[in-house]
Amino acid sequence: MDDQTLRHPFVEELEWAPHVDATYITVDVQDGIVRFGGVVASLAEKHAAERAVWDLHGVRARDDVCAIENQIAICPETIAADIAANVRRAFARHAGLDAARITVAVDGSTVALTGTVRSMLARHRIENAAWPAAGVGAVDNRPSLAP
pLDDT in tens, 61-78: 655 555 778 888 777 666
The answer on 126 and 65 residing in a single domain is: no
Q: What pTM, to 2 d.p., does this model score?
A: 0.52
pLDDT at 130: 93
- For residue 39, the enclosing domain spans 3-74
**The CATH number of the domain where 139 resides is what?**
3.30.300.130
DSSP 11-69: HHHHHH-TT--GGGEEEEEETTEEEEEEEES-HHHHHHHHHHHTT-TTPPEETTEE-EE
The answer on 91 and 43 residing in a single domain is: no
The answer on 132 and 115 residing in a single domain is: yes
Please list, in sequence order, all residues whose beta carbon lies within 8 angstroms of the beta carbon of residue 141, skipping any fewer than 6 positions away: 113, 123, 126, 127, 130
The answer on 92 and 67 residing in a single domain is: no
The residue-averaged pLDDT of 92-100 equals 87
Q: Which of 74, 105, 135 is the last residue of a domain?
A: 74
**The CATH number of the domain where 70 resides is what?**
3.30.1340
